Structure formats: structure tokens, C-alpha cells
Structure 1
């Protein structure tokens, strides 16, 4: 009885929380009853040839992603990971094995796991500054790379940073490395596409992440935009790199797999993010939304209870909302309306003023008293 009550309580709590924001980028609007039979079996891929094995499923998934990232099926190696961090662990490891004395370069807005990985692998790591958008600053990258020109460069590229949803410019990074005199055998680029790596291919005019460019690996999370019920990820790299590490790499042929409707899903998320940004701007709240992003950044609320109730992720003077599929217009209206009322109360006596967050989101996005008077 006690166990059943605990389960019921947790279920009710999760349902209530899902009606607010989920700032871990996860898609929670799911119906997985079609897979209920499969969830009763252990599909762990252990390399066995017995029938109860997920190898075939895994390769179907990988083949679909190779089409997305434009690499031939006989030129890639990959696997389904436990999540984005494991994908980063694998991608950066491959880079280090290709360039053992290489230096890891990553922006200061990178996911914390990148810096942890550098410590785990005992790699020298250079933290590159970012633009206001959160995108890697290629001017600073160039200075750092030239300072250490005698060492190969291993680049971690962010396809959507955690806080601001910034997309590092792959073409500009490649151009910067080439201008510094780095030939393609002296640099390795890993693309951390945890959330946006699954979204950008379905956005018109968005930058392409493709193995037709000189990248070494890509990773993406399966439990974020795709909403897999169990945390997982996809890691893809070039087969030639794996062949250099191991003499016995087995390639399992498989049929194509398709997933439909993703372009529509991505567009809905981006349009709802723009809707929220406009709602906040209309309420004179400082806000920013990067191009091709569904992460809306705004001034940090002053009420910790409000932050907890809406599950807001905060960093310094800013907070953000990740507008995933399960977020409705009604939820955005409710959030925006409550935020506006709270601000009216916080600032009604004039003793407190909205924070200036121009350093975080740029002066054109900041509507503090100083920047509002300049606009």
C-alpha cells in the first residue's frame, strides 16, 4: 500500500511539473503505447547473435542519421549511446587518438561535460571567448590557435549552446583554421549537437552539419527533441578513424528507416519561441532569441518561488525557456502573464529597477531604463 501511494504521488507530481517548463530540453508530449511490448524485453546490444538483441534496430537508427548528416554507409562508424555526454566522450576521444598531442579548443559557453572530459582525458583545454549571442568568437580562436600553432587543434563545436542556444559557425571555424595554416590532417572537429543537431536539418536556410565538410564526429541526444522515453544519444564518426584504432570493426548491413513530420515539429517549436519572445518584448522584458533557436533568454526573475514553479534554468542575471513540443500557446500565455504581473509588483515602488543584461544579450535586446532611453 505504501509503495502504491508513493508511486501515485510521484505520478501526480510529474504530471503537475510537466504542465510547466522542462528546461532540460526534453520532449515530453509522448505516446509510447505502440512500443509497450518491446519495453518488456531487454534489448541491450551485447554483440550476441541471439534473437533477443537490438543490433539490427541500432543500425537502422544509425543509417537514418547518416542520411541526415551526409556520410556514406560504408564510410561511417557509430553507435547508440546513453546520452549526449557519452557521445562527447567518444567524439573527443577519437579526436585525441587521431591527434595525441592536440589541444582541445571549446567556447566558454560549452556544456560543462566538455571541460570534465578534458580533465578525464588529461587534455590541455583552451577556453575560447564567445560573442554576445553565445557563439564562439573566431577572432579569439584564431589568436589562441596561432599561439599554439605547433600543436594540432581538436575543436569542440556547439550546435546550440546550453544556455543561449547559440550555433557555432562551422564554416567560419574551418576557414579560421585554414587561415592559421592548419591542413586537414592537423585538426579534428567534433560537433556537439545535443538538441539542435536534430532540429537544424529541418529548418530552411539553417547552417548544415554535414560530413561533406571536414568534421570528425557528430553527437545528438535522442531523449531531447525526439523524446525517446529512455535517455540515449547517437554518435557518428568516420570509419577510417575507427579502423586506425581497431583492426576488427564489424559493419552490419541494414534496411533504411524513416521518421516523418520532423520539419513540422521543428517549425512549431521555433514559431512558439518567437511568440514567447514577442510576448515578453511587449511587456518590456529584456529578451533574446538566436536565429534557428527555440531557447528564449530573458532577465532573471527576482522571485525564487516563481523560478522554481516554472522550472526555469538560470545563469547569473539571465534565465531561459526551452520551447519544446509539449509547450502550448496557453502555457506561454500563462507564463508571460504571470511574469508581467510579478514584475509590476517587484518594481512598483521604484526602489528596484529591471537589471541591465546588455552584456548577456546585447544592448539592442536590453530594455533596462538606460538602453530603453537610447532606443
Structure 2
């Protein structure tokens, strides 16, 4: 708020986190819009970084909205996370007016190019198309619900062995205190300062969680 107020003559570009990396927290678009209105900022650009949670929130009841109806100008969602592409990729959705600003006619192919780089991968859209066609809306909803249930199991099980774990209501990211380095390396857990996390994805099952719990208990008392 204060930064925007100080530089109010410069239209702000705001990156809203739709699921932060370590904790899965979601920025409130309506609150951001409220601050802009309060400061009488007429021109701005809001981008929603929904790399992971963009394929989680739409399938949960009462989840925070982040679509174009909320006032965002563009949204980015990863294709290799919840969608399941075997190759890293993503989709950027933007309002037509913004897309047209960068569109350029490419004479030798006889069409307009709307990418920033001038090129794009040809096979990753096929992977995502296949995922949407085979799973469909109901399939992804079941997938997300399954991940949420497993995340709840992980939180409960970790707390039962004395690990203070938790998760945001609309996230499959399980947050816990920083674990023993041996466990972190074996399970490739992300760490930042005093916390660790694990993200429950479709490839994770109950047996994985139980094996992790055993390793945590076995490492109790080990030196870093």
C-alpha cells in the first residue's frame, strides 16, 4: 500500500500469489483491488501466479476466486504439476486487449504470433489436451479431493508423532518445522529458514506418508 501511494504516478504491476511456494497461501484479489480503489489508482496490471493452485482452487468449495471476474489481467498455470504433463510447461491466459498489444504478423507463416519469445513447444499442449480429455472436470475434482484428504491425513499423522504440521484450507502443501537433514535429503523436501514442506500431488500415496513418518521417527535425536 505504502509503495503504491509513494509512486502513485506510475501504474503498478502487481503479482498476486495464488498459492505461495512454501505455504500455499493465497493473496486476496478483492483486497488488492480495494487498496487500488482507496488510493484512486486508475491504471494497473494484476497478474495471478497460480502455477500449482490454479488447478486446485476451482475444484474446492468456497475457495478464493482468482479468475478474470475478480479483475486480474492475466493468469499463469503450470501444466506439469496437477495437470500432469511429463515435460515442464505452462499456460498463460490474458485479456484479449493485452494479447493484441504484443501480436505481430509473421509473413512467412501467414499468421499472427502472440508469444513473447516468438516460438513455443508443440508437444506440451498435446499432453495437456490429453489430460483434460481423459480426466475431464469431474476427474480433476476427484483428483484434487483425493490430494486434500491425503494432506489432511499427513497433517494428523505428523502431529500424532509430535511434528507440528499444518496446511492452508485450500492447499495441498503440508508445512512443518525444518526436519533432520537426512530426512530432507532422502525425501527431497523443500526447506526455507525454519520450515520444511511437502506437497501432496496425485503421485503421492498413503504408503509414502507412512514411510516418511517412520524415517522421521528413526532420525529423532540424530545430529545434523
TM class, shorter-length: 0.7 to 0.9
Residue aligning to 1:219: 76
**Shift in Å, 1:279:** 0.9
**Shift in Å, 1:250:** 4.8
Match of 1:244 among 77, 86, 101: 101
Separation in 1 of the partners of 2:78 and 2:34? Answer: 28
Match of 2:219 among 328, 342, 346: 342
**Shift in Å, 1:209:** 1.9
Is it true that 1:275 corresponds to 2:153 in the alignment?
Answer: yes
What TM-score does the superposition give when structure 1 sets the normalisation length?
Answer: 0.50
SS of equivalent residue, structure 2 residue 69? coil
Between 1 and 2, higher relative CO (CA 8 Å, sep ≥ 6) is seen in: 1
Residue aligning to 1:178: 37
Residue aligning to 1:228: 85
Is it true that 1:152 corresponds to 2:29 in the alignment?
Answer: no
* Structure 2: stretches of 5+ with no match in the other structure: 106-110, 114-131
* Structure 1: stretches of 5+ with no match in the other structure: 1-141, 252-256, 353-375
**Shift in Å, 1:236:** 1.0
- Residues 263-292 of structure 1 deviation map (CA, whole Å, 9 limit, x = unaligned): 010011111111111111112212221121
Map residues 245-260 of structure 1 onto 2, 5 A cutoff.
245-246=102-103, 248=105, 250=112, 258=133, 259-260=136-137
**Shift in Å, 1:181:** 1.0
Separation in 1 of the partners of 2:187 and 2:104? Answer: 51
What TM-score does the superposition give when structure 2 sets the normalisation length?
Answer: 0.82
Aligned-residue Cα RMSD (Å) equals: 2.1
Larger Rg computed on CA atoms: 1
Separation in 2 of the partners of 1:241 and 1:342? Answer: 53
- Residues 227-279 of structure 1 deviation map (CA, whole Å, 9 limit, x = unaligned): 1112111111111122234465759xxxxx75240001001111111111111
Map residues 158-169 of structure 1 onto 2, 5 A cutoff.
158-169=17-28
Query: CA contact under 8 A between 2:78 and 2:89: conserved in structure 1?
Result: yes
| Number of positions where the alignment pairs a residue of Structure 1 with one of Structure 2 | 198
Separation in 2 of the partners of 1:169 and 1:291? Answer: 14
SS of equivalent residue, structure 1 residue 287? coil
